[in-house]
Amino acid sequence: MDINNAQFICSNTEWKKCPKANLPEYAFIGRSNVGKSSLINALCNVKKLAKTSGKPGKTQLINHFLINNNTYFADLPGYGYAKISKKSREEFQKFTLKYLKNRPNLITVFLLIDLRIKPQKIDIEFMEYCAINKISFVICFTKSDKLKKIEVEENRMNYEDELLKTWEHFPINFITSSAKQTGLEEIKKFIGENNSQFKI
């Protein structure tokens, strides 16, 4: 799938106010500052399509983007150590989970994980939540350019070993770097294949 056009559509805190569910949709989620907005920008080859920030917790709304006039990307609030009030954090976690459970055209969730960091309980808990609620997800390991080639594979294997302690299979996963454009073509191919099977 080639991405030739991308535009911001809307921001909101209620899944019922999301764009009409007539196109396949892919959501991007992960710990605060893991690189969700950067990955969306890299996939679309538009530097400032999704807002990026060095400050964790910048994305606090569900942000929708229309891709090629036939696909939606949703940039979801990060979870983890965002420097916002506990009440605000609980609020946007609540509306994020409602979105994930109720959005009828959601094809899959791209769960972004910083490959430099050892397996985190909060990421594994989110995967378990998706599995229990039958929400499709794949893993995007980010910031691979910050590691040596051997470290990339070692760290990926650490995640696989950790998950296989309780999971039957290791989820589909991509090794990515927004800075080096690593893994982008594989993700776009995955999206294209899933779009071809989408039915309203």
Task: Return per-residue pLDDT of the chain as tens, 200 residues.
Answer: 999 999 999 998 888 999 999 999 999 999 988 999 899 999 999 988 987 655 544 457 899 999 999 999 999 987 765 555 555 556 657 888 999 999 999 999 999 999 999 999 989 999 999 999 999 999 999 999 999 999 999 999 999 999 999 999 999 999 999 999 999 999 999 999 999 989 76
**In terms of CATH, what superfamily is 6-193?**
P-loop containing nucleotide triphosphate hydrolases (3.40.50.300)
Predicted TM-score (pTM) of the model is 0.91
- The pairing of strands 6-12 and 106-114 is unpaired
The answer to whether 139 and 34 have CB atoms below 8 angstroms apart is no
Rg (CA), the chain: 16
Domain residue spans of the chain: 6-193
Which element (helix H / strand E) includes 162?
A: helix 149-163
